[in-house]
Structure 1
Amino acid sequence: MEYTHLGRTGLRVSRLCLGTMNFAWQIDEAASHAILDRALADGVNFVDTANMYGSERGDGMSERFIGNWFARTGQRDRVVLATKVYAPMSDWPNDGGLSARHIIASCEASLRRLRTDWIDLFQLHHVQRDTPWEEIWQAMQTLVTQGKVRYAGSSNFAGWHLAAAQAAAAKWHLLGLVSEQAKYNLLTRHVELEVLPSAIAHGIGVLPYSPLHFGALSGALRKQRDGESGRSVLHAPERVEPHRAAIERYERLCADLGLAPTTVALAWLLSRPGVTAPVVGPRTPEQLDLPLAALTTELGADVLARLDEIFPPVGNGGPGPEAWAW
């Protein structure tokens, strides 16, 4: 396994992050534990979840599954654990968002579900424009001082949100954000305009989620032809059909390379500037095979150029303003 620093911190994380959104929503606890066992055995030490994953009426079952795994295996010290705060966990007005009250209450609830004393990376799951950064950082620093949180991260932030967060943190002489979890894949490249440049400038590690675009980049057309079930087939009408021509070219390229589409999509992300670790969400232990293969797959300049032809970047490519201006 290859490890790297999370953003500008001294914390070392695996180049793949195990996403657990499928836990409880798609797979049961035994299957979830089998995936955690396999991931850790292969050196994946970075596990991402959220209070809302697997939740029905605020029960946060994904976190509970992970907490039960920690209790069963005693492996908490070997894992860099990330979770999130923002989503409403009930209909009550203060049981969601980024108020100081909810940030602190959500952290304490996550700690109980995860059966741990601390969260390594506590991520703001979305922006909340009507909450001042002074309030957010006050709550985060309270949790850090109490030893309940080690680092703060974000998810679904625009580039200027990252800059604003860091400017506010600097006033308090705080570390600020160390990671941004953004939707990023060959079909969704908007973050290259401003999110990636901002993250790189501020020393924020990027954690791409949906790296296979809901399975569209996992060999979806071949799976459809072969009659296989799975996420890519389930989401085919809205995720695959609008990009059918490009995906056909992509799958032919992967076949010519002798590589699985999943492996190529993740190897491409691993080659991108600023990317720390793509977040992968297997539903079986075996589904980790192809992502792990991406760690040792190097795509040549000619292949990267072909991928840009098949899946063009936004505008002129690269960061703004050059992407849209002279």
Structure 2
Amino acid sequence: MKYTQLGRTGLKVSRLVLGTMNFGPQTDEADSHTIMDAALDAGVNFFDTANAYGWGANKGRTEEIIGNWFAKGGDRRDKTVLATKMYANMALDDGPAWPNHDKLSAVNIRRSVDASLKRLKTDRIDVYQFHHVDRATPFDEIWQAIDVLIQQGKILYVGSSNFPGYKIAQANELAARRGGTIGLVSEQCLYNLAERRAEMEVIPAAQEYGLGVIPWSPLYGGLLGGILKKEATSGRRAGGRAADALADPASRAKIQAYEDLLDKHGIEPGEAALAWLLTRPGVTGPIVGPRTADQLASALRAVELELSEELLTGLDEIFPGPGPAPEAFAW
């Protein structure tokens, strides 16, 4: 496994991030533990989750699965850089719609940290992430709450997810003015070969302020994972975002050209999509969310995969990026 520092911090993390969103809803606890053990054995030390994972009536279940894995011992917790997220409403779905159970108020930040620590069976969260912007809560309030939690040792670093570039700038400028507040050190954003809008402003802002970029959905819901080949060989039909994209003839043609190009180079599409992200400026490592140990093994191969200049040029021709702002939309 290869490692890099998370943004401007001294924290060393693996170039792949183990995403755990499937743990609970699609992968049972025993198999989830097997995958986490395999990831740690392979050198993956950066695990990402969120308080809402498990979804619906099972919100929090994924953190519980990870906590039970930590409780097995064997230095699992000390070897893991643990990241979780908060923002979603964690009140019981069948209960009253009480206010202050979601978003980024100081009240909910404190409540959410304590609840996650209990589920995760740990005394600290290494990277605590805001899952979405909260337009109603000023950053003065947010940073005041975070400062207290850092002083208490409950969290060490703070990251964002799904933030636009201007919010990254706003958050870190205010943190700098306050003094003593570390500010955001990472941004978790939607970024892959087929969805490159983050290159316009989000990634440049992250680089300017020293945030590590952690792309989510690196295979774009399976669209970049060899979906047409699977459709032809197994009859397996795409669903969700992938099905919507393939219903458009132009999008389907792009995916076909992508798979044909990688077939020519003898590379698996899913591994190429991950390897491409690892070549991108500012990227710490993409989040991979395996449902099985075999899917994890495929993702691990991407770290060692070297993409030729010819192949990189071909990928850019199929999926051209928007270019940086403001040139992307102005003269």
TM range (shorter): over 0.9
Is the aligned partner of 1:11 residue 2:19? no
Paired position in structure 1 for 2:82: 81
Is the aligned partner of 1:177 residue 2:178? no
User: Matches of residues 243-254 of structure 1 in structure 2 within 5 Å?
Assistant: 243-254=251-262
Is the aligned partner of 1:152 residue 2:158? yes
Q: Distance in 2 between matches of 1:224 and 1:262?
A: 15
Q: Distance in 2 between matches of 1:324 and 1:302?
A: 28
Deviations 1:85-128 (A, max 9, x none): 10111232111000000001000000000000000000000001
Deviations 1:236-260 (A, max 9, x none): 4224333210000000111111110
Structure-2 change in CA distance of 1:289 and 1:58 (3 Å): closer
TM-score (norm: length of structure 2): 0.94
Is the aligned partner of 1:279 residue 2:287? yes
User: Matches of residues 88-99 of structure 1 in structure 2 within 5 Å?
Assistant: 88-90=89-91, 91-99=97-105
Q: Structure 2 residue aligned with 1:268, among 260, 264, 276? A: 276
Deviation at 1:73, TM superposition (A): 3.4
SS at match of 1:233: coil
Is the aligned partner of 1:217 residue 2:218? no
Task: Kindly indicate whether the alpha-carbon contact (under 8 Å) linking 1:57 and 1:89 is maintained by their aligned counterparts in 2.
Answer: no
Q: Distance in 1 between matches of 2:22 and 2:70?
A: 18
Q: Distance in 2 between matches of 1:81 and 1:116?
A: 10
Q: Distance in 2 between matches of 1:128 and 1:58?
A: 24
Q: Structure 1 residue aligned with 2:311, among 303, 313, 318? A: 303
Task: Kindly indicate whether the alpha-carbon contact (under 8 Å) linking 1:280 and 1:291 is maintained by their aligned counterparts in 2.
Answer: yes
Q: Distance in 1 between matches of 2:307 and 2:330?
A: 29
Task: Kindly indicate whether the alpha-carbon contact (under 8 Å) linking 1:220 and 1:240 is maintained by their aligned counterparts in 2.
Answer: no
Task: Kindly indicate whether the alpha-carbon contact (under 8 Å) linking 2:245 and 2:252 is maintained by their aligned counterparts in 1.
Answer: no
User: Matches of residues 37-186 of structure 1 in structure 2 within 5 Å?
Assistant: 37-57=37-57, 59-74=59-74, 75-90=76-91, 91-173=97-179, 174-186=181-193
Q: Distance in 2 between matches of 1:121 and 1:96?
A: 19
Cα RMSD (Å): 1.2
Q: What amino acid is aligned across from residue 89 of structure 2 in structure 1?
A: P
SS at match of 2:214: strand
Q: Structure 2 residue aligned with 1:322, among 322, 327, 330? A: 327
Deviations 1:176-223 (A, max 9, x none): 000000000011111000001000010000000000000010000011
Unaligned runs of 5+ in 1: none
Q: Distance in 2 between matches of 1:11 and 1:165?
A: 21
Q: What amino acid is aligned across from residue 70 of structure 1 in structure 2?
A: F
Deviation at 1:59, TM superposition (A): 4.0
Task: Kindly indicate whether the alpha-carbon contact (under 8 Å) linking 1:119 and 1:149 is maintained by their aligned counterparts in 2.
Answer: yes
Q: What is the percentage of aligned positions where both structures have the same residue?
A: 55
Deviations 1:24-52 (A, max 9, x none): 11111111111101100100000000000
Paired position in structure 1 for 2:94: none
Task: Kindly indicate whether the alpha-carbon contact (under 8 Å) linking 2:53 and 2:59 is maintained by their aligned counterparts in 1.
Answer: no
Unaligned runs of 5+ in 2: 92-96
Structure-2 change in CA distance of 1:202 and 1:37 (3 Å): same
Q: What amino acid is aligned across from residue 292 of structure 1 in structure 2?
A: L
Task: Kindly indicate whether the alpha-carbon contact (under 8 Å) linking 2:165 and 2:202 is maintained by their aligned counterparts in 1.
Answer: yes
Is the aligned partner of 1:33 residue 2:33? yes
Deviation at 1:56, TM superposition (A): 3.2
Structure-2 change in CA distance of 1:27 and 1:228 (3 Å): farther
Q: What amino acid is aligned across from residue 181 of structure 1 in structure 2?
A: Q
Q: Distance in 1 between matches of 2:235 and 2:22?
A: 19
Q: Distance in 2 between matches of 1:305 and 1:55?
A: 40
What number of residue pairs does the alignment pair up?
A: 321
Deviations 1:155-189 (A, max 9, x none): 00000000000011011111100000000001111
Structure-2 change in CA distance of 1:308 and 1:135 (3 Å): same
SS at match of 2:271: helix
Task: Kindly indicate whether the alpha-carbon contact (under 8 Å) linking 1:58 and 1:89 is maintained by their aligned counterparts in 2.
Answer: no
TM-score (norm: length of structure 1): 0.96
